[in-house]
């Protein structure tokens, strides 16, 4: 069993905390576009960002992941590989 990033959990966090995407962005010093990408699943937040959310709202890191029988696909950022 693998644990994969679940963008729907960011949406759930916003609903549970009663905040909007722009409010989350402002509180954590990121752009609203970054939050939008996280909720759509086109990008993932850093581990540091997720841990900041966990500390802020007292939730476990596992909240942001879903169980899967398939291995996650690892993507490399173009900037990371110098393309």
Give the model confidence (pLDDT) of 42-56 as tens digits. 999 999 999 999 999
Fold of 2-71: 434 Repressor (Amino-terminal Domain) (1.10.260)
pLDDT of residue 79: 45
Q: What is the pLDDT of residues 2-44, one digit of tens each?
A: 678 889 989 999 999 999 999 999 999 999 999 999 999 999 9
Least confident of 29-33, 69-73, 79-83: 79-83
> What is the reported pLDDT for 83?
43
pLDDT of residue 56: 93
Cβ(4)–Cβ(66) under 8 Å? Answer: yes
């Amino acid at each position: 069993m693998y644990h994969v990033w679940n963008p729907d959990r960011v949406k759930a966090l916003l609903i549970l905390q009663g905040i909007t995407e722009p409010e989350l962005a402002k509180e954590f010093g990121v752009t609203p576009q970054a939050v939008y990408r996280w909720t759509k699943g086109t990008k993932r937040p850093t581990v540091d960002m997720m841990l900041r959310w966990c500390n802020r709202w007292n939730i476990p890191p596992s909240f942001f992941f879903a169980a899967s029988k398939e291995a996650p696909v690892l993507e490399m950022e173009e900037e990371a590989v110098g393309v």
